[in-house]
Structure 1
Amino acid sequence: MIKFGIMALHLNSENKYVNEIASRAASFGIECFRFIPSQINPVTMLVTGHRYDTERSRWNAAEFPIPDILYDRCFYGDDRHSKQCIPIVSWLKNNPDITFLGYGLPNKLEIYEVLASSPLAPYLPASKPVSLPEEVLNELKRHRKIILKPVNGSGGNGIYYLEVQKEGILAKTEKQGNQVNYLFSIKSKLSRWLESLLTKKKFLVQPYLQLTDDQDRPFDVRVLLQKDANGHWLERGRGIRTGKKDGILSNLSAGGVAAPFRAWVDKVDPSLKNFICEELDELLVKIPAVLEDSFMPLFELGVDIGITKDGAVWILDLNSKPGRKVILQSLPHLQEELFSAPLLYAKKIGSAVQKERKRYNEKTLSN
């Protein structure tokens, strides 16, 4: 039986998703575990976590060897526990006896540098790292409206919008679903605020793109790509995320709502609709290939696409640990596919690992 471990920073993280996977595991010939990286004993190499009891449909506390295949669902912050777990997960990924469902992606800047040297370059908003207030101010002077994004951010957290106005510089961000505005009429105060921001995290700057609907609400397209049981990339679904009026984020965590992509695109002018759909289809084939040519193998990708009113298509973000809310809310009939997908792919790579070990053992026994 394949040993499949779901790894997170908290045992109850993504509880519904993890439970749905675990309840189906036995039917795929898989035994399911969940654990926190920091709960691995470096001496015994045993993990303290939970084993799923199929007969009773519940998790039981248990101690067990590190599972053969790991599904990494760790979402790191700036907290002490995240910093403790990062090197442990890195160590696991370098262990030849452990296989990850997907090995994840590096930070936004490294991804940008790879994509910028590929055929996907025309679809990228120009991005550059900034570490000094003067660098941000120069970009603001040049573009009048800019976006600051954390290099290691996810979920829309820590994104700032800056705009030159008559009264001064407006800075906006969203925290816990609420918009927070700052207006700096004095340049020195803005510089001090930027310096405080830039010393806490690494940021990149982009010119602001007008990615809003006819009601001035930010919106984008979220597409979920995954590998199937044969290891081939396929599109699970695409949905529209729409944020609050005059907001800067479309993320559901920032108060956005999800809707089917088809319902939106069918309202677009037919000639523009065909162009957008063709561009999207082409991008979604190229993106995984470009990424896996430079980085370790992946299992899934959340692709965020921006579309301007004139039909220009932009790659906004790529996430190797995507959520499923947008797809489940806009295309609820796909839930069985989404909950079974990790198990189907785990079964494929698990069988390959077992065959490889069997061949290796046969060779060593004959010598």
Structure 2
Amino acid sequence: MNDNLIGIFIPRDHYESVKKGSVSSSYQQFELAANTLGLSICFFTANGFLDSKDVKMLTMNLSNDSYSESTACLPKVIYNRSSLRNKKTREILNYFIENGSYVFNVTPISNSKYYVNQLLEKESHIAMHLPQTLFGSKKNLRKLMDQFDCLFIKPCYSSVGKGILYLERHKKLGWFIYEKSANNKGWGKSEFTNLEKIRIERLFQHRQFIIQEKIPLATYKNRPFDLRVIIQKNSTGHWAITGTAAKLAPKNQLITNVGSGGEFGDLRQFLLASNLSYPEVEQKVHTLALDVASALEKTWPNIADLGLDIGITEEGKPYFIECNLRGKYGSFEKRKELFTLWKNIHHTPIAYAGYLLEKYNQKVMKLNKQDS
């Protein structure tokens, strides 16, 4: 077996695409990173799992830059890039851990927005940077509507802003509800009537939601912005900020998700327009990101690759919004000013995998010396 082999666990459809010769630019970056570090990588998936010792895997044939499938021993270091929503996937990854492999970017349970919030609320130094958040229920909706004038209702499991609802109280007209239009290009507005309340309460019965205070985000030209902070474990095994990207909401819209029409922008310019100090805000954001990663690691020791959404108020205070364990950064690749960050996002986990592999090899050597 190749002693420098790193395994990357990927979704089944991705595995089939690579097998057929269609390799994404992200997977190509993993290969480039491995080559730079003197490592080799293989891709494998759930349907290639045979037993604790063998897996079907795809490795690159250097003679023609194509991938071929073979069966080999389970890699000793595995970087998970598959969704943790699937219980079977979590069971397989945990089985690999139990059989001696170092597996990272995996949690024992699915990371719902509510559960993450509960974990972070336990840390007093982080709790002050969290919006008020309750689990979606009739009682909690009523409670937060009594406390705040603006609320978000978010699915516990969603991405790119899908399924988000927004409630806002107008002083004289009462409550209104906003939700994405069918074409996903804007927000529809309607009165929050008793019928609407009943509809929301029924949603709570069939799907998990959080109800969350709206943070008064700083704005640029009347458009709110927030940050995606990528924090990963590096070649020394420590958490480090890989990079930060500012996201600006579309005109007359509420959320900054680039997949929903938001756009990347220059954080320095945004902060200057808001009379905020870039070095001061950056330090506060980085401190919060490192604190969040360290706090989550207490419960999830096998995490190493996080994308944090962090908002900034008009006073420059950072607020944690949500955490992504399997960020997708294709839109970074298309922006010249973010391309280097995009490359580093792919190279850092491979460098961390190399650190784990060296750690594993040292452990084996130590055991062999003890036995000899």
TM score, norm. by length of structure 2 = 0.83
2:29 to 15, 20, 31: 20
The DSSP-based 3-state class of the residue aligned with 1:147 is: strand
Q: Is 1:162 the equivalent of 2:164?
A: no
Write out per-residue CA displacement over residues 53-97 of structure 1, whole angstroms, 9 at most, x where no aligned residue: 2332222233333322111112356xxxx45434333433x4241
Could you tell me how far apart the structure 2 residues matched to 1:103 and 1:76 are?
7
Q: Is 1:204 the equivalent of 2:206?
A: no
* Superposition deviation, residue 135 in structure 1: 2.8
* Superposition deviation, residue 116 in structure 1: 1.6
* Superposition deviation, residue 275 in structure 1: 4.1
* Superposition deviation, residue 179 in structure 1: 3.4
Unaligned runs of 5+ in 1: none
Q: Which residue of 2 aligns with 1:144?
A: 149
Amino acid at match of 2:198: R
The DSSP-based 3-state class of the residue aligned with 1:178 is: coil
1:208–1:174 CA distance, 2 compared to 1 (3 A): farther
The DSSP-based 3-state class of the residue aligned with 2:311 is: strand
Q: Which residue of 2 aligns with 1:56?
A: 64
Write out per-residue CA displacement over residues 249-297 of structure 1, whole angstroms, 9 at most, x where no aligned residue: 2111112211233343344425x54542342243234333323234314
1:176–1:316 CA distance, 2 compared to 1 (3 A): farther
1:36–1:182 CA distance, 2 compared to 1 (3 A): farther
1:285–1:230 CA distance, 2 compared to 1 (3 A): same
Q: Which residue of 2 aligns with 1:109?
A: 114
2:92 to 84, 88, 94: 88
* Superposition deviation, residue 142 in structure 1: 3.1
Q: Is 1:5 the equivalent of 2:7?
A: yes
Write out per-residue CA displacement over residues 208-241 of structure 1, whole angstroms, 9 at most, x where no aligned residue: 1232524443320111122221112222221211
Please tell me whether the aligned partners of residues 306 and 324 of structure 2 are also in contact (alpha carbons under 8 angstroms): yes
1:260–1:7 CA distance, 2 compared to 1 (3 A): farther
Amino acid at match of 1:28: L
Write out per-residue CA displacement over residues 9-30 of structure 1, whole angstroms, 9 at most, x where no aligned residue: 2314982111211244244332
Name the % identity. 19
Write out per-residue CA displacement over residues 166-225 of structure 1, whole angstroms, 9 at most, x where no aligned residue: 2753132477743353635530x2233213322332111111123252444332011112
Q: Is 1:128 the equivalent of 2:134?
A: yes
Q: Is 1:323 the equivalent of 2:328?
A: yes
Could you tell me how far apart the structure 1 residues matched to 2:91 and 2:162 are?
23
Could you tell me how far apart the structure 2 residues matched to 1:337 and 1:191 are?
46
Q: Which residue of 2 aligns with 1:302?
A: 307
Q: Which residue of 2 aligns with 1:352?
A: 359
Please tell me whether the aligned partners of residues 239 and 326 of structure 1 are also in contact (alpha carbons under 8 angstroms): no
Please tell me whether the aligned partners of residues 225 and 246 of structure 2 are also in contact (alpha carbons under 8 angstroms): yes
Please tell me whether the aligned partners of residues 134 and 140 of structure 2 are also in contact (alpha carbons under 8 angstroms): no
Which piece of structure 1 moves more, 253-262 or 117-126?
Answer: 253-262
2:50 to 22, 41, 58: 41
* Superposition deviation, residue 324 in structure 1: 3.2
Q: Which residue of 1 aligns with 2:73?
A: 65
Could you tell me how far apart the structure 2 residues matched to 1:183 and 1:27 are?
55
Q: Which residue of 2 aligns with 1:99?
A: 102
* Superposition deviation, residue 106 in structure 1: 3.3
1:59–1:123 CA distance, 2 compared to 1 (3 A): same
Q: Is 1:258 the equivalent of 2:275?
A: no
TM score, norm. by length of structure 1 = 0.84
Q: Which residue of 1 aligns with 2:284?
A: 279
Could you tell me how far apart the structure 1 residues matched to 2:196 and 2:142 are?
9
Unaligned runs of 5+ in 2: none
The DSSP-based 3-state class of the residue aligned with 2:186 is: strand
Q: Is 1:312 the equivalent of 2:317?
A: yes
Please tell me whether the aligned partners of residues 241 and 286 of structure 2 are also in contact (alpha carbons under 8 angstroms): no
Please tell me whether the aligned partners of residues 187 and 253 of structure 2 are also in contact (alpha carbons under 8 angstroms): no
Please tell me whether the aligned partners of residues 238 and 327 of structure 1 are also in contact (alpha carbons under 8 angstroms): no
Query: RMSD across aligned C-alpha pairs, in angstroms?
Result: 2.9
Could you tell me how far apart the structure 2 residues matched to 1:8 and 1:83 are?
15
Amino acid at match of 1:41: L
The DSSP-based 3-state class of the residue aligned with 1:331 is: helix
Please tell me whether the aligned partners of residues 219 and 274 of structure 2 are also in contact (alpha carbons under 8 angstroms): no
The DSSP-based 3-state class of the residue aligned with 1:64 is: strand
Write out per-residue CA displacement over residues 127-170 of structure 1, whole angstroms, 9 at most, x where no aligned residue: 1112x334323322432321112223344333221223527531
Could you tell me how far apart the structure 1 residues matched to 2:331 and 2:165 are?
23
